Amino acid sequence: VMVEKQGFKHFMLKEIYEQPGVVRACLEAYFDGDWTAADAAIDKPPTHLGLPPDLFANLQQIEIVACGTSWHAGLVGKYLLEQLAGVTTTVHYASECRYAPPPIAPNTLIIGVTQSGETADTLAALEMEKKRRSGFDQNPELLPRLLGITNRPESSLGNLVASIIDTHAGIEIGVAATKTFVAQVMAFYALAIDLTYRRQAKSPEQLEQMLVGLRQLPAHMELVLESQERYIEELAHDFAETQDFIFLGRGINFPIALEGALKLKEISYIHAEGYPAGEMKHGPIALLDAKVPVVTIAMPGSVFEKVLSNAQEARARDARLIGVTPMDEQDAADTFDTLIPVPHIDEMLSPILTVIPLQLLAYHIAARRGLDVDQPRNLAKSVTVE
Ligand code: G6P
């Protein structure tokens, strides 16, 4: 398939703009489009992932293995699987897990997340799990249960694991992952909602409300793209000389802080750290001064005030505070020097929106520096060696 830039300066920017469409495709593929709470009474599930029920029988825990951006999607997944479905979930770097796997526990679902389906470390970690868990025919609850989340079902991953969630993002050319990340997070919403429904961990009404929110995401994403891109392009001018960035978030937006920092490192070669905002006082605050901008994701919900007060600690060190936060929140407006507004939305769904300004910020800083955004130095789209 010949993929073109269609008037965009780089594939990465085109792929950022494709994200609302990708979310629509995922909604279509994973969810029952007109499911309501009443359907629970006739046991009609909200999702149709087509996964075999034995993957989930007596499920006790979930292990996620991945690398890079896919690992960040895994962290969002952990939040959803634990906070919605109530399943204990651990997230492992594949390169670490393959040499120091967790003890074999019963009834464990192992999820490999890999956009390409070809990342050597991720494949090796899954092969290792498959091998060490085989031969337990006397003890079937220890047998491997493997699930892959990938944008390439026909890949090596597809050959290795029997069950796949296809992320439907279309081919991604830019080395820095954008639309495939958003699609992986959508796959985790679907999986978490599927499990929540099976385990009756939330009421049907709560699930219906989440589905309504998910269906509104593409329009919200379009709004962020339309209203913020020019502004972020302008904002990028301010960072021509900047050498370090800090990204802060908490809860479900902590992995988005990590992802924002990774995007910036990958394509603009600026040193950046993502931190859970409450940990800043235990070390990274020592880095702060007027030359280090701090980008904070602050969405109303369980940790809003906490994040704002963490950001204020950074202000006391003269750092420039940039907030990704809803427009109409006065406390946030008072806290940040610069606002990147996003729509008001359920905190649980917010990563799909909050990641967009961070992708655009990384993109425009790199493009402004004249860097090769789609082919950054030293990086490969997929790393097929250890
Ligand atoms: C490479 C890419 C990253 C990607 C990582 C994992 O390092 O440059 O963008 O996140 O591999 O790739 P995967 O295909 O396994 O998701």
Q: Please provide the DSSP assignment of 225-250 as one string.
A: HHHHHHHHHHHHGGGSS--EEEEEE-
The pLDDT value recorded for residue 229 is 94
Cβ of residue 182 lying under 6 Å from some atom of ligand 1: no
Cβ of residue 115 lying under 6 Å from some atom of ligand 1: yes
The pLDDT value recorded for residue 272 is 97
The pLDDT value recorded for residue 3 is 86
> pLDDT digit string (tens) for 185-228?
999 999 999 999 999 999 999 999 999 999 999 999 999 999 99
3-state secondary structure of 64: strand
ipTM of predicted complex? 0.98
Paired tokens of 96? 């670490």
Catalytic residue selected from 14, 263, 281, 381: 381
Pairing state between β 321-326 and 338-342 = parallel
Paired tokens of 66? 């991945």
Cα–Cα dist 114/109, whole Å: 16
- Tell me, what DSSP letter sits at residue 47? B
Ligand 1 atom closest to Cα of residue 70: 16
Cβ of residue 223 lying under 6 Å from some atom of ligand 1: no
Cβ of residue 119 lying under 6 Å from some atom of ligand 1: yes
Cβ of residue 178 lying under 6 Å from some atom of ligand 1: no
Closest CA to 67 of 125, 6, 1: 125
The pLDDT value recorded for residue 1 is 64
Cβ of residue 184 lying under 6 Å from some atom of ligand 1: no
Closest CA to 184 of 361, 23, 51: 23
- Sign of the Cα pseudo-torsion (62, 66, 69, 71, in order): positive
| Angle of helix 254-268 versus helix 68-83 axis, rounded to 10 | 170
Cβ of residue 69 lying under 6 Å from some atom of ligand 1: yes
Question: Which burial class, exposed, middle or buried, applies to 385 when counting CB atoms under 10 A from its CB (0-12, 13-18, 19+)?
Answer: exposed
**Ligand 1 centre distance from Cα of residue 66 (Å):** 9
**Ligand 1 centre distance from Cα of residue 115 (Å):** 7
Cβ of residue 382 lying under 6 Å from some atom of ligand 1: yes
Cα–Cα dist 151/48, whole Å: 18
Cα–Cα dist 133/180, whole Å: 30
Q: Give the residue, out of 116, 173, 386, with the most ligand 1 atoms within 8 A of its beta carbon, to mutate for a pocket test.
A: 116
- Tell me, what DSSP letter sits at residue 104? P
**Ligand 1 centre distance from Cα of residue 36 (Å):** 37
CA distances from 163 to 49, 129, 144, 157, 235 (A): 10, 15, 12, 10, 44
Cβ of residue 116 lying under 6 Å from some atom of ligand 1: yes
Residue type, 236: A
Cα–Cα dist 199/85, whole Å: 7
The pLDDT value recorded for residue 231 is 96
Ligand 1 atom closest to Cα of residue 122: 15
CA Rg value for the chain? 21
**Ligand 1 centre distance from Cα of residue 189 (Å):** 21
Q: Whose CA is nearest to atom 8 of ligand 1?
A: 381
Ligand 1 atom closest to Cα of residue 66: 15
The pLDDT value recorded for residue 160 is 98
Ligand 1 atom closest to Cα of residue 184: 16
Ligand 1 atom closest to Cα of residue 68: 10
The pLDDT value recorded for residue 135 is 87
* Catalytic residue check, 5: no
- Tell me, what DSSP letter sits at residue 31? B
What is the pTM for the complete model shown? 0.97
Cβ of residue 105 lying under 6 Å from some atom of ligand 1: no
**Ligand 1 centre distance from Cα of residue 69 (Å):** 6
**Ligand 1 centre distance from Cα of residue 293 (Å):** 27
Ligand 1 atom closest to Cα of residue 380: 8
Paired tokens of 186? 């959508």
The pLDDT value recorded for residue 2 is 76
Which residue ranges of the chain lie beneath pLDDT 50?
Answer: none
CA 8 to chain centre: 24
**Ligand 1 centre distance from Cα of residue 156 (Å):** 15
**Ligand 1 centre distance from Cα of residue 52 (Å):** 28
